[in-house]
Amino acid sequence: MTSIPHDNPGEPDPLRALDLTRLRRRTSMKWRTYPEDVLPLWVAEMDVPLAEPVVRALTEALALGDTGYPAGTGYAEALAAFAAARWDWPGIAVERTAIVPDVMLGVVEMLRLVTGPGDPVVVNSPVYPPFYQFITHMDRRVVEDPLGAGLRIDPDSLAETFRRATAGGGRAAYLLCSPHNPTGTLHTATELATVAGLAERYGVRVVADEIHAPLVDPDATFVPYLSVPGAERGLSLMSASKGWNLAGLKAAVVLAGPGATADLDRLPEEVGHGPSHLGVIAHTAALRHATGWLDALLTGIQANRRLLAGLLAEHLPAVRLHPGEATYLAWLDCRALGLGDDPAQVFLDRGRVALSPGPSFGTGGAGHARLNLATHPEILAEGVRRMAAALR
């Protein structure tokens, strides 16, 4: 393969550390769902080694036999310090936090606190497929409010959706994806404050999935939902899971705004038994001691985003890449290729490259595919070449 130069040769890029031979030894979902001739660029796992501080913390815990139940507020304290340093937000009150098994199970618990069976939950489609699955399985109703121009939240549309969702006088919630998956859209402080104002006007409770918060381009800024005016009754879920590739080490933190304290107080005590103690240890170490590793990763992701744009322009000029500023996911508009609603299936069948199918993200997903660019740049380049070959 042709060598692709490193944008920042003085900094180690975790995305360049592992080759395809080593990656294929992994036994996780990304590397075991498809046959070996398929190049997997789909599910949200990164092709990186673990940050050394995380490895060290886990190794020490295992040597001690420290594999019991999680306890304490160390994770929340580490997240608070990270938020203050990273986002200039000293607003995490540890006494208004709790640990939960992971972000989506935490979302479920928060929705149980603020809605009842049959109540509507608003989402901005296209959006992370498990939003639909978890909401439906807990006997709530999904109400879509499609993203507007530029794949951003449309305040007029959201206001009308909130009005309709609450017209009968019942309870309603808004499950906010911030940063947005799959588009990589980074919501601004103004947009989030508008959301908070609309939620208060219509009596809609906001639950924010902020799992991708650490994964923001170096020249962009993440705004926590609970930091904006009017968000006092909001609830947020955060985790080190995506930022440091710790999906198999389950843990997350729920944060409550000052006006949601009573809601969080009703969280069943047994929910806190669900997180992995090793997960809590790993996430805490990542937040406290592996921010340098994260910085190198973010530089690598940004370089891969630019690389992908160039590769698409060269090999698949009809594909439109949404210019996201966050996550390591790329939202590809393939409608001009004439491949139908699910171009990912064509790329898989003909090119042996796996992407996430657009239709699973709801309204607005047809004709699209999501690509995971958190991999070695040579693997990314090979993926695009395979996609192009699928059209010949």
CB atoms within 10 A of CB 259: 13
DSSP 167: T
285 contact partners, CB below 8 Å, separation of at least 6: 53, 54, 56, 57, 58
Q: In this structure, which CATH number among 3.90.1150.10, 3.10.20.30, 3.40.50.920, 3.40.50.150 belongs to the domain 14-51+291-389?
A: 3.90.1150.10
CA distance 324 to 315: 20
Residue in 185, 248, 210, 216 with CA at minimum distance from that of residue 43: 248
pLDDT of 9 above 90: no
Whose CA is closest to 253, among 87, 123, 81, 133?
A: 81
Q: What is the pLDDT of residues 322-378, one digit of tens each?
A: 999 999 999 999 999 999 999 999 999 999 999 999 999 999 999 999 999 999 999
Are 300 and 14 spatial neighbours (Cβ–Cβ below 8 Å)?
yes
Cβ–Cβ < 8 Å for 145, 125: yes
Q: Which residues pair with 384 in a beta bridge?
A: none
User: How do the residues of the chain divide into helix, strand and coil, expressed in percent and rounded to 5?
Assistant: 45, 15, 45
CATH class as words, domain 68-288: alpha beta
pLDDT in tens, 235-289: 999 999 999 999 999 999 999 999 999 999 999 999 999 999 999 999 999 999 9
pLDDT digit string, tens, across residues 288-308: 999 999 999 999 999 999 999
- The full set of domain ranges for the chain reads 14-51+291-389, 68-288
Residue 2 in this model has a pLDDT that exceeds 50: no
The pTM score is 0.96
Which residues of the chain form beta strands (DSSP E)?
39-40, 97-100, 120-123, 141-144, 172-177, 204-209, 235-238, 252-256, 320-321, 329-333, 353-354, 356-357, 368-372
Rounded CA gap, 226 and 215, in Å?
Answer: 18
According to the model, what pLDDT value does residue 170 have?
Answer: 87
The Cα 333–Cα 338 span in angstroms is: 11
- Nearest Cα neighbor of 104 from 70, 78, 127, 80 is 127
CA distance 192 to 354: 34
Residues across the chain: 392
157 closest CA partner among 364, 370, 391, 375: 364
* pLDDT (0 to 100) of residue 6: 45
CB atoms within 10 A of CB 50: 19
DSSP state of 326: B
Number of H helices, E strands in the chain: 13, 13
Residues 6+ apart with CB under 8 A from 219: none
Q: One fold for both 14-51+291-389 and 68-288?
A: no
Instruction: Determine the average pLDDT of the residues in 105-113.
Output: 98
Confidence of residue 4 (pLDDT cuts 50, 70, 90): low
Q: What is the pLDDT of residues 148-179, one digit of tens each?
A: 999 999 999 999 999 999 998 889 999 999 99
Cα atoms found within 13 Å of the Cα of residue 373, Cβ hemisphere only: 34
Q: What are phi and psi of 336, to 5 degrees?
A: -70, -15
